[in-house]
Amino acid sequence: MPAYLDHAATTPLRPEAAAAVVAELSQAGNASSLHGAGRRARRAVEEARESLAEAVGAGASEVVWTSGGTESDNLAVKGLFWARRGADPRRRRVLASAVEHHAVLDAVAWLVDHEGAEVTWLPVDAAGRVEVAAVAAALAERPEEIALLTCMWANNEVGTLQPVRQVAELAHAAGVPVHTDAVQAVGHVPVDFTASGVDALSLSAHKFGGPVGAGALVLRRGLDLVALQHGGGHELGVRSGTLDVASARGAAVALAASVAELRPEAERLRDLREQLVAGLRAQVPGIAVRGDADPAGRLPGHAHVTVPDCEGDSLLYLLDARGVEVSTGSACQAGVPRPSHVLLAMGVEPEEARGALRFSLGRTSTAADVAAAVAAFGPAVERAQRARRSARARSARRAS
């Protein structure tokens, strides 16, 4: 079997979650119906809601079921913007970290293009962590015009944890609500919604062993939010649509299991990550490891590297051919590979950023997977660098 080291993209469905989904799929009943089958479905949804809320330190009434992280991010960013601007037309500014996932970046960009929003991108340091002083400075500038601030909990590329609690304290002192994209964090590091002080938190089940297409937006009680879709007033009136009972149960079961084993699993993944990084460096001494060097400041299973004189997508295919499945650190737009906006925000030069690879370990990762990745890495890099040199030589000959 291939060595699957792309858990940050999606992680395998946990057996207990799969069992919960299958059991629910065999049942009939719309959770909004009043008959017995409907009441049974509603009970299953609410029990799942309570379980998920407990796992992230929230109240059950604060959990809104969604289809996943992208919907949750869009609902939070757009819904908060519209609600705040509706209450005060001056509130058109959005503060966002420069290393957000595209579900947040593109939602903010859409508001700029279509709703007259003004965005301030908050800078990050060389580890990819938002600069708290820059947050304070941005909040001090025309605070009465700020609609919201959004800052992710953990970066999806380099794994760096963000100072969410500090950011929330600063924002609240300025009267600004805070959203955090915690998709990569939930189920992998301790996440406490109430203690963090944020107003909205996005999560996605398939990142912690739940089903794809299930997620939630956790909303502070009393927070005003404008709905993106309408039709039945489900989920506190902000997310209409027939509830997916099976996915809700699967998500809750997966998260409860992940949280129960969080600390020992994090230690295991940290050890595997260190073995992986040491092996990659031994194979190719010139690589640079990105993200926070302190294990306490990053996700336990992320190992992000940039390789000199290589294209990340070429390395991905070469590793895939050797049975090692990873991802690159670049977003492909319109078929054209571009350097990762995260790495560029961290100060990495565009040429260097093109050689990015993300190895992400998860529950099913083993020492054998790490050994396979290390063994394949050196030959793959050598071939990719040779191809790059040949391409440059051909270009030089044509230019002459």
Pull the structure tokens for residue 98. 């420069």
Which residues have a catalytic role annotated?
332
Pull the structure tokens for residue 84. 């705040």
Strands 302-306 and 288-290: antiparallel
User: Residue 197: phi, psi to the nearest 5?
Assistant: 85, 0
User: Residue 120: phi, psi to the nearest 5?
Assistant: -115, 115
Pull the structure tokens for residue 383. 């071939």
Q: How far apart are CA 194 and CA 209, in angstroms?
A: 24
* Consecutive H or E run containing 399: helix 367-399
CB burial string 369-388: b at 16+ within 10 A, e below: bbebbbbbbeebbeebbeeb
Q: How far apart are CA 98 and CA 123, in angstroms?
A: 6
Strands 215-219 and 178-181: unpaired
Place of tokens 């699967």: 250
Q: How far apart are CA 144 and CA 107, in angstroms?
A: 22
Q: What 3-state class would DSSP assign to 267?
A: helix
User: Residue 147: phi, psi to the nearest 5?
Assistant: -85, -45
With CA atoms as reference, report the closest residue to 355 among 372, 369, 343: 343
Q: How far apart are CA 23 and CA 102, in angstroms?
A: 34
Q: What 3-state class would DSSP assign to 331?
A: strand
Pull the structure tokens for residue 185. 């964090």
Q: How far apart are CA 344 and CA 272, in angstroms?
A: 28
Pull the structure tokens for residue 195. 């203690």
Return the ∠ at Cα 301 (arms to 298 and 303), rounded to 5°.
75
With CA atoms as reference, report the closest residue to 210 among 30, 50, 362: 362
356 and 4 Cβ atoms separated by less than 8 Å = no
